[in-house]
Amino acid sequence: MNKPTKMLTRAGVIAALYVVLTFIVLPVASGAIQFRPSEALTVLPLLFAESVPALFVGCLVANLIAGTAVQDIVFGALVSLLAALLTRACCKMKGKGAKIAAGGIFPVVLNAFLLPLIWMWAYGALEFAYFAQVGLLLLSQGVVVYGLGIPLYLSMTKAQERFPAVFGYENKNARG
């Protein structure tokens, strides 16, 4: 499989996983107290460039399915895109721990501080005061991004080492 095909396929899988992982917890995937296991995928830009647009598309589709306001659909997905781009910028850092810590901070902080502003604009009010909402999102995003994202990142780095033809960008067996 050539590199563009592999990247497109991987992007499609990541976007689909984001949607499915959001959909299966739909009652708690949106709202003041939010838990989206799909946000664990936000560590993938540390490994795969194609996960950046995939996370944007996945969030866009998930918000559309969840029936959120247009502002939340569009601008919530744009927050995910910005977080993914900033996370991707951390991929060249040395040390897995530093890379994960730095890369994970963007989806946690940007979602926590920007989503309540989008919700106030879209719905006219929040379920809790702004800073209470920020605190709840910092907690839930932190648990998912670090609690689920770190094991995902570590397992994907091992998969890249063990199966480079599948999880890497280069099929080493195809060399002549």
| 94-151: pLDDT as tens digits | 988 999 999 999 999 999 999 999 999 998 888 889 999 999 999 999 999 999 999 9
**Angle (CA) 93 98 99, round 5°:** 50
Amino acid 1: pLDDT: 63
Amino acid 169: pLDDT: 65
Amino acid 48: pLDDT: 96
Amino acid 96: pLDDT: 87
Model confidence at 171: pLDDT above 50: no
Enter the tokens of residue 14. 């990541």
Amino acid 31: pLDDT: 78
Model confidence at 173: pLDDT above 70: no
pTM comes to 0.91
Please classify residue 80 by burial: count the beta carbons closer than 10 Å to its beta carbon, then call 0-12 exposed, 13-18 middle and 19+ buried: buried
Model confidence at 54: pLDDT above 80: yes
Give all domains of the chain, ordered by start, each with its CATH number.
Answer: 3-165 (1.10.1760)
Separation of alpha carbons 105 and 143, rounded Å = 12
Task: Share the mean pLDDT of the chain.
Answer: 91
Q: Can you tell me whether residue 16 is helix, strand or coil?
A: helix
Amino acid 140: pLDDT: 95
Place of tokens 């996983």: 17
| 6-39: pLDDT as tens digits | 999 999 999 999 999 999 999 888 877 789 999 9
